[in-house]
Amino acid sequence: MQIRDLPYPDPGVPDVRSGPRFLYWLGRNQLGGQLKSLSWGLLHQCGVAGLPLGVGLAVQAVVDGSGGRLALAAGLIALLGVAVALGDTMLHRTAVTNWITAAARVQQLLARKTAELGSALTRRVAAGEVVAVSTGDVEKIGWFVEALSRFAAAALALVVVCVGLLVYQPALGIVVAIGVPVLALAVLPLLPKATRRADVQREKAGKATELASDTVAGLRVLRGIGGEDLFLDRYRSASQEVRKAAVRSARMWSLISAIQVLLPGLLLITVVLYGARLTLDGRIAVGELVTVYSAVTLLLYPLRHVEEIAMAYSFSRPSAKRAVRVLSLERTAWAPDDTAASGGQEAPGGDLYDPATGLLAPAGRFTAVVCGDPDLAGLLAERLGGHATSDTDEEKPPSALLGGVALDDLPLITARGAVLVQDKDPVLLSGTLGELLDVPASGKVTAADALDAAQCGDVLAALAQASADSTGDPMRTRITERGRSLSGGQRQRLALARSLVTDPEVLVLDEPTSAVDSHTEARVAAGVKGLRKGRTTVVFASSPLLLDRADRVVLVHEGEVAAVGVHRELLRTDPRYRAVVTREPDEHDEHDGNTAGTAVTRARELQEIEESA
């Protein structure tokens, strides 16, 4: 795989049993690139290791006064110089390719998992952690994959040099052959402690990133409640902890670096002293001493790769662990592999049913669901869309059924096409209004019809005034990231219009009008019901204006269906329903006979608002 060929047609199915296994899987999938990098690395390292031989031959030729051997030594040095230059250039090229392609593979895996889980991802993993994995952690993982082949080349070069010195000059070669393994292994006792400190640093840095991301996301709310200083102090404290952990980690790595300089220096001194005595005794020639001395000096270069691979692994292991945590999330524990499913399978039609709660949404009807617990409502909405995620060690609720077919048994693309879920906090991506509404759709609902049903007239007027286009076309007006230039109600209605344009077989809306006023809410309820006539629509809401428009209202209490009927009937007959809709406690309903009359009066007042609208 070359950089120009990215992205991967299929990044593969990762091994997410552990961080090290994930790193091994990445390296195994880049075996071709690793072998190329190893080959060029060997050429470079052996070229560097061969230079002392050329220098030693040249020195000895000068001592002996042999011009022919001097010319031969010069040619050898020139040839080795070409090998060093070519090997270094191609090694850098292939190593960077391994780095970038490994990082790209991880990013594609994360993007695929994000698309699979949707909004459920951030309910299982903090948004800041997802950001940390997809940015800094990806770079650390790529670094280890890239450094692996360079370390292998350096290790092989060390073996070649030691064997070569033993053959070339056994007396000094034996000293080098014993000393080099000691140098390479001397830092091993320090690596576990250095790794633990690096893990602590990465963990604290990840938490600080999460805190910063979550603070920025909720900045508007923090300003509203005056909590900016509180969270700023928390971030200062977290960043100081990261700084202290980084200093502790750096101290250990500096100690390892010092040892990597000290011990080779001692070996070099030993070789020089012993070699000088051998030369004075006439047991070895001057050129041989120069060769061995130069070889030991250049051994410092491949030995550096031992420190680098240890550092790369210590930093990439916690990064891989975090990546595995995200990539191991599944829609359900027993969901079949979508890649093996039939991509052309058509979505079934019929009633939408949730076995866990007993909720039934008949096909082609407008069903409203009242649930006193907002968190439970959100989880139920996700399950109706087949979006629920799970850990393998937890009990899983059964899948929702569409036309008697479990959504979890359908290919993911089919399930998403059959049931569209709009959560209570929909996101607007940056771009023009036309681009926002340019989504996969049936083609039966136009953008104008969807905007009209969602009561976006004031939004269109505001966008037309802000349009930089000479025609004042609101469809060409750019919407800022996440729709920050719009009010909460405007963002909510534009998101609703986007969902209506899609025109899915089943549309699930979670509190679609929570940020709009009563008059607008009444018109939106009427518009959605009219536009979705003949299609299955499920709305999670507690607003009487929406509930009164529903063909069927279902009360979910303590995780199961407690009552089914129409709004006004349930308001009169069911105290639990009345408590949720009118925001009054059950105890008051049970002990005050006038409460029902009061609730009915409030409902009539809201109905008058609707009629006047």
Q: Which residues of 18-45 are buried (b: 16+ CB within 10 A; e: fewer)?
A: ebeebbebbbebbeebbebbbbbbbbbb
**Do 121 and 113 meet the contact criterion of CB atoms below 8 Å apart?**
yes
Q: Report which listed range, 89-93, 121-125, 265-269, is most confident.
A: 89-93
Tokens of 374: 């907002």
The pLDDT of 438-452, averaged and rounded, is: 89
Residue 117 confidence (pLDDT): 76
CA distance 358 to 345: 27
Higher pLDDT, 399 or 575: 575
Tokens 């047991």 sit at which residue?
Answer: 283
Strands 401-402 and 366-371: unpaired
Write down the H helix ranges in 437-487. 447-453, 457-466
**Do 193 and 252 meet the contact criterion of CB atoms below 8 Å apart?**
yes
Has residue 341 got a pLDDT over 70? no
Tokens of 357: 């709660």
CA distance 315 to 242: 15
CA distance 37 to 148: 9
Quick one: pLDDT band at residue 352, thresholds 50, 70, 90?
very high
Residue 453 confidence (pLDDT): 94
Residue 109 CB-density burial (10 A; 0-12 exposed, 13-18 middle, 19+ buried): buried
3-state secondary structure of 231: helix
CA distance 204 to 243: 9
Tokens of 78: 């020139």
Tokens of 34: 């690793």
Has residue 603 got a pLDDT over 50? no
Q: Report which listed range, 290-304, 339-353, 415-429, is most confident.
A: 415-429
The pLDDT of 464-488, averaged and rounded, is: 77
CA distance 271 to 348: 80
Residue 509 confidence (pLDDT): 94
| Range from 29-43, 81-95, 384-398, 543-557 carrying the lowest mean pLDDT | 384-398
Tokens of 306: 């031992």
Where are the domain boundaries for CATH 3.40.50.300 in the chain? 352-427+502-612
Quick one: pLDDT band at residue 163, thresholds 50, 70, 90?
confident
Neighbours of 398 (CB within 10 A): 12
Q: Domain 352-427+502-612: give its CATH code.
A: 3.40.50.300
Has residue 34 got a pLDDT over 70? yes
Please choose, from the candidates 327, 415, 344, 330, the residue with its C-alpha nearest in 3D space to the C-alpha of residue 13: 327
Q: Report which listed range, 126-130, 331-335, 511-515, is most confident.
A: 511-515
Tokens of 298: 């250049």
The pLDDT of 10-18, averaged and rounded, is: 90
Domain 12-327, classified CATH 1.20.1560.10, yes or no:
yes
- Three-state SS string over 70-103 comes to HHHHHHHHHHHHHHHHHHHHHHHHHHHHHHHHHH
Tokens of 135: 């940015």
Where are the domain boundaries for CATH 1.20.1560.10 in the chain? 12-327
Quick one: pLDDT band at residue 392, thresholds 50, 70, 90?
very low
3-state secondary structure of 16: coil
Quick one: pLDDT band at residue 358, thresholds 50, 70, 90?
very high
Residue 541 confidence (pLDDT): 92
Tens of pLDDT, residue by residue over 580-598, are 888 765 544 444 444 444 4
Has residue 391 got a pLDDT over 70? no
The pLDDT of 19-30, averaged and rounded, is: 89
Mean residue pLDDT across the chain = 81
The pLDDT of 305-328, averaged and rounded, is: 84
Tens of pLDDT, residue by residue over 507-530, are 999 999 888 888 899 999 999 999
Q: Is the dihedral of CA 292, 295, 297, 300 positive or negative?
A: negative
Quick one: pLDDT band at residue 370, thresholds 50, 70, 90?
very high
The pLDDT of 303-317, averaged and rounded, is: 81
Tokens of 547: 């509930």
Quick one: pLDDT band at residue 205, thresholds 50, 70, 90?
confident
CA distance 345 to 411: 8
